[in-house]
Structure formats: structure tokens, C-alpha cells
Structure 1
Amino acid sequence: MAAVKYISREKLPEWLKALAAERRLLVPVEEGGAVVFRAYDPAKAPVFGSDATAPPKGSVFPASKELFSYTYGKEGEDAKPTLTLDPKTTAEPTVVFGSKPCGARGFLIFDRVYMGKKFPDPYYIAAREATVFVTMACDTVENTCFCHWVGSGPADPAGSDLLLTPVAGGWLVEAVSAKGEPLLASPALTDGAAKAAEAEEVKAKTRAALGEAPDISTSKEALLARFDDMDFWRDQSDKCISCGACTYLCPTCYCFSITDEGSGMSGKRLRSWDACMHFQFTLEASGHNPRPTKAHRLKNRVGHKFSYYPTLHDGLIACCGCGRCVKSCPVSVDIREIVQNAVAKAKA
């Protein structure tokens, strides 16, 4: 593994400018009262230090992605119609800079779905392989953070390619993967060995600030035991307004819908984010909906993350504990409370 490096706050713009000259560079910026990832603009200062309102999910899995364009044709009156497809499977080399570790860790949940051996997704794979994640370890925690509940932590390197830890005057820079190592060659970085001990102290202090996590090791079985208990799910969902903010801001939600947009003999097929918290997501053409109420839909959302997905994927919880769904919910639905309530119900 490459040696650790150090980048000062004064040298950071130099490094960012060099990265932006080589590939697309996405950084967190303030926009419309929120912090979102946008293409780097030297004239607009990035917002580092606190977690972005929206995770960097769109860098690899965009809110709307053209899968292919299509054209129908016919050479003669008696000839069979032809169909020409032009798939859009290439991806632009990208660096996502400044996400918290939990934002990048979310892609580990995507990987098992879209990079599986049975149904690999060429669009996702191309974007994933073309993207490098430079994350910043947390030095503060919020009351909505619960990464330690799900086997992670404020300096978790899983999913990152470079990990920056705040130290006096700048950041210690560690290569986590082979994809991240080439970025350490920048002359803006210097040797960081002297800062390593300080970085470890920052990591330990931040982790200690989270306190001890409750035991949710039985959540998989506890939620499954409540599957048919709709009274329980109505209680949990009473204040939910089905806005879908929890799903769109979640680093691990990957539901989508497919639509065709065309005119005449040509058009394009799009994949767009969708949300299991919406009534229309499971609405069938017959008019039947297997998840007719918000209680059914919340049951699916929580159950998928803490029960169904772990069952299918070696116990891995499909939640990174970033707390966005708690922090941004307009009516304060708290997924932590729901999981704990299910666990407590199973013990009663």
C-alpha cells in the first residue's frame, strides 16, 4: 500500500484543479439551501466538513440515465421492419471528492445487486469502474448518525479509494484501493508520516463520540416475525406522509423504473429513480396493488434493509447509518426506532 500523504488547506485547491483537468470532478457545494455534489468550479468553494444533504449516489447511478436510443426502419414495402439499438454503456472518468465514508460505503450494497454474476448491469459496472471516491473521515457526529449500528464507523474505509482524515492544518491522505493510489502522485501532497498518529486520535475520538450501539443483531428475524402484524406497521407508519424523501436521499436505495420516450420512428429508453414508498411503484395494470397502504410500503422498506437483503447477502445490512432518512424526514419518522421496536416486540 502506498505511503500516507498530507495535504494542507492552502494546497487543496491546487490538487482539486489538477484532478478536474484530468477527469470529471464532483464536489459538495451549496445549492438552493442544500449541499449537493456538482462539477468542480474553482469560483465556487466546496463545502467540506459536514455531510452533504444528498449522497453521491447519482455519480454512478444517476437519477435518470439513457440506456440506449432506438430507431425503427423499413427498406421496402415487403421488407421486415428493422430495429437499431445504440446502447450508452460508456462512462466518463470521474472523481467524487469530499463525501463522508458512509456515502461511498452505500455502493457496496449496489455492487452485490448490479455486479452479480447472474445479472450484471453493464451501465452500472462501467460507471463504478470509472469512478474514484475520495472521502473525508468524520471529526464530529450528529444525533442522527448511526453508522456504528450497522457494522461501520465514522472513518470506515470500505467503499472509498482514498480516505482523508482532518488533522491540524489539513488532512492525512491514505490510499484505500489501487484505484486511489495514482492520485497520491500530485506535487500538492507531501509525506504524511508525521501526521499519522494525530489522524488515529481523531478517528478514535470521533468513534467514541458515537457511544455504544444497541444490539440489533436479531433484527433480521424480529422484522420477519412482524411481517403479518399490520397493527404494528400501522403504528410505525401513522405519521409518514409517503413523500419518498427517505428513499431519494438514501445512499443504498436502488429502485428504478423504465420508460421509453420517442417520436415517430426513434426514441430512447430511460432508467429513472423510483421509490418503494410511492403507491404507484407496485401498482399493477389490473388496478391491484400488493402494497396498498403506507404501512405495507414502510414494512417493505425497513424489512428490505434489515431483513430481506441481509438474508440474501451474507448478513450485510442494506443501510450505511448515515441518518439522512431521519434528518430529512418532514415528520420525523425514525428507522432506528422502528428496528428497535421490532426487536423489543420479539423479546416481549
Structure 2
Amino acid sequence: MSIIRFVNTDGLPAFLAYLSKDARVLAPVEKPADKKSVVFEEWTQGKPFTLEKATVPAKEAVLPQCETLLTYKRDKDPEDPSRVSLKLDDTPQAVPTVVFACRPCDARGYVTLDRPYLQGPMVDPYYKARREQLTVLTLTCPRGCSTCFCHWVGGGPSSPEGSDVLMTEVEGGIVLQGLTPRGDALLEGSGLEDGAARFPDAEAARKAAWATLNKAPDLKEAPAKVAARFTDVDFWEKETDRCLSCGACTYFCPTCYCFNITDEGDGYQKPGRRLRTWDNCMSPLFTREASGHNPRTAKALRMRNRVSHKFATYPENWGAFSCNGCGRCISNCPVCLDIRAIVLDAVNAE
């Protein structure tokens, strides 16, 4: 039986203070802008936070937008300047981190990233170090929205996948349910009151959230059907005619994991460093080779690669979609390109 706790709404700041004693806590914070945005930031005592769905997922907890992989220093031998020694420091930069109040689609995003970074031919030590120190407290969604389609791809408003603690809003507060040994241990030491009596309210709230969703289409044949459209350039040109190649769909995605590597400095006068930064497969430069040749100059071919990876190639390799249906690529697209429509057109095409 998992640990169940309850916290009053007024008690959330104290709970966050408990979480931040031994870890960095990333909580959703509302930012003033013409278009309201909610981003994850490190929480400190007294800092306002929100329980609204974040505009940007908390992917940086395990895959920072820019990170130093290693630093290097070159030293010439004063007796023989032709001899150069190279010192490297590739120690992963990882600290205990708690992600507070992300959504189920975001928590499933960590599982999606785990497969290529931890279960592939090579384990990424930088990702692994952060992932092992990550605790995820997920807030279930109270209802569906027009751009969400998590239930199309195996998730849902109360999906537990990827979460250590599942939180559900009920009248007067939040019910917290431990899902993993790490989550149970966190709740046991929290000092929060027992929430078993309120758990039926949480279950009712979760059921009500599912009831707000429209019926999901059957995407069982999507991997094969999307793959079959790969060479149909006319199909992709038609589907992506409005695309601006701005890359918003990739930068707001909780499961995109392409990156670029850049070296800064030669390491002689001061240490140089090797950086890993998010890359954007919708950029015209993404596939440009050292020779100057670029196999994907057309935006239709780049979007073909992006959609095919999420709904055909990744499922072929890992048995699951690499899209979690969060809908951010739709809500943040300046021309409202809808990945759902592309996939359904591929599935229904003759």
C-alpha cells in the first residue's frame, strides 16, 4: 500500500520548504508577458508559485538547455615547448532535484528520454547523474483542453508513469500518493497528515478529469502508416505548407532530445570547455554536413523527420511513441500547425 498524505492549500509553502532542505526544487512560476507564460524556476522561501500547467516543461532538470560536459587545459612543457599536456575534467554536474507540480505528460517525458539516454548502446553519464538524483511530484490534470491529446498516446490526466508522487487537487488542498520507494520515503518524512480518508475524493477527481476527454482515435497502425508516407514528398509539402521552421515545436517539447556539441577556447591561456546545447531539427542548418551538403534543405523534409521520429522510428526502436500529447507544439506554434492532424492524415491516407 502506497503512502497517502494530505496538505492544505495554505500549507504548500511549508511543504516546499521541506522539499528544499536537501534538494533544489523546481516549481512553476508565472511570468508577466503579453501572452501569459509559466516556467519552472528554482524555488526559494517566500517565492510565489502557481499550480497551473507550465508553458515550458521541466526538461532542464535532466537535460539542461546548455551544459558543460567537460573543461580542458593545455600546458606546454617549459623544457620542450613542442610537448603539450592536456588535463580534462568531465565530472557530471548534478545536484538532488525535485520537480514540483509538473503534469503527467511531463513526467512521462522523463521516461521517454530515459530510453535513448540510459537504455541505448551507450549510457549518457551526464543525463544518468541528474536522473538518479531526480524526484518528480506530478499534479494530475483537472480536465482536458483543446490542444492536449495525452490519451491518444498512452497517457492521461492522471497517468502515473515517470512520477514518484502523484498529487491531486481536492476541496481544501491536495492529496499526495507515493508511487515509488523514493516517493514514499519523501512523504513519510514530510510531517503531513494522513490522507487515506481523502483518497476517494482524489479518485473521483481523476475520474472526472478523464470524463472531459474526447474519444481518442486508434493509433495502433500509426507507426506503419507514418513510415509508409516517408517517401511521399507531396504529402509532407501539403501538411507543412504553413510551417515557418521557427523551431517552437521542438523547444517546447518535453521529449525532443537532439543536441549540438561546441568547444569554446583552445585551453592555453585559460581553461576551455565543451558545451552541449539543445538543437532544433526544424532548423535549415540542422543536417548540414562538414562538406557543405545538406540532405534536408526543405522544411517539408525536416517536419517529415520530426513527425516520423515521434510516431514511427522511436516506436520501432522502443515500443512507444515519443510524443506525450502535451499539446505545447500546437499551442505555441505561431501558425497553429497541428501534429495531430498530420498523423491522422497519414493514418487515413489511401
TM-score bracket for this pair, using the shorter chain length: over 0.9
TM norm structure 1? 0.96
Please tell me whether the aligned partners of residues 72 and 267 of structure 2 are also in contact (alpha carbons under 8 angstroms): no
Please tell me whether the aligned partners of residues 143 and 213 of structure 2 are also in contact (alpha carbons under 8 angstroms): no
Aligned partner of 1:58 in structure 2 is: 60
In structure 2, the CA distance between the partners of 1:32 and 1:257, relative to structure 1 (3 Å rule), is: farther
Shift of 1:329: 0.5
SS of 1:281 mapped into structure 2: coil
1:12 matched to 2:12? The reply is: yes
Shift of 1:323: 0.4
Unaligned runs of 5+ in 2: none
Shift of 1:21: 2.2
Aligned partner of 2:25 in structure 1 is: 25
Aligned partner of 1:336 in structure 2 is: 340
**For structure 1, which segment, 60-69 or 84-93, has the greater mean C-alpha deviation from structure 2 after superposition?**
84-93
Please tell me whether the aligned partners of residues 68 and 270 of structure 1 are also in contact (alpha carbons under 8 angstroms): yes
Shift of 1:185: 2.6
TM norm structure 2? 0.95
Shift of 1:32: 4.2
Give the aligned length. 344
In structure 1, what residue type is equivalent to 2:229? R
1:210 matched to 2:205? The reply is: no
d(CA) in 2 for partners of 1:20, 1:191: 21
Aligned partner of 2:315 in structure 1 is: 310
**For structure 1, which segment, 89-98 or 330-339, has the greater mean C-alpha deviation from structure 2 after superposition?**
89-98
Cα deviation per residue 1:24-60 (whole Å; 9 max; x = unaligned)? 1110001243110001133332110x31000000111
Shift of 1:203: 0.8
In structure 2, the CA distance between the partners of 1:32 and 1:274, relative to structure 1 (3 Å rule), is: farther
Shift of 1:19: 1.3
SS of 2:147 mapped into structure 1: coil
Q: How does 1:200-279 map to 2 (within 5 A)?
A: 200-263=203-266, 265=268, 266-279=271-284
In structure 2, what residue type is equivalent to 1:3? I
Q: How does 1:260-299 map to 2 (within 5 A)?
A: 260-263=263-266, 265=268, 266-299=271-304
Aligned partner of 1:192 in structure 2 is: 195
Structure 1's consecutive aligned runs of 4 or more residues displaced over 2 angstroms after TM superposition are 41-44, 185-188
Cα deviation per residue 1:134-156 (whole Å; 9 max; x = unaligned)? 01001122110100000111000
SS of 1:22 mapped into structure 2: coil
Shift of 1:112: 0.7
Please tell me whether the aligned partners of residues 26 and 99 of structure 2 are also in contact (alpha carbons under 8 angstroms): yes
Aligned partner of 1:151 in structure 2 is: 154
In structure 2, what residue type is equivalent to 1:289? N
Unaligned runs of 5+ in 1: none
**For structure 1, which segment, 50-59 or 29-38, has the greater mean C-alpha deviation from structure 2 after superposition?**
29-38
In structure 1, what residue type is equivalent to 2:122? F
Please tell me whether the aligned partners of residues 72 and 272 of structure 2 are also in contact (alpha carbons under 8 angstroms): yes
Report % sequence identity: 46
Q: Give the aligned CA root-mean-square deviation in angstroms.
A: 1.3
**For structure 1, which segment, 79-88 or 231-240, has the greater mean C-alpha deviation from structure 2 after superposition?**
79-88
d(CA) in 1 for partners of 2:231, 2:291: 24
Q: How does 1:59-138 map to 2 (within 5 A)?
A: 59-75=61-77, 76-77=79-80, 80-116=83-119, 118-138=121-141
**For structure 1, which segment, 204-213 or 239-248, has the greater mean C-alpha deviation from structure 2 after superposition?**
204-213
Aligned partner of 1:161 in structure 2 is: 164
Please tell me whether the aligned partners of residues 7 and 188 of structure 1 are also in contact (alpha carbons under 8 angstroms): no
Cα deviation per residue 1:118-173 (whole Å; 9 max; x = unaligned)? 20000000000111010100112211010000011100010011110111111110
Shift of 1:224: 1.0
SS of 1:257 mapped into structure 2: strand
In structure 2, the CA distance between the partners of 1:187 and 1:96, relative to structure 1 (3 Å rule), is: closer
Please tell me whether the aligned partners of residues 4 and 195 of structure 2 are also in contact (alpha carbons under 8 angstroms): yes
SS of 1:106 mapped into structure 2: helix
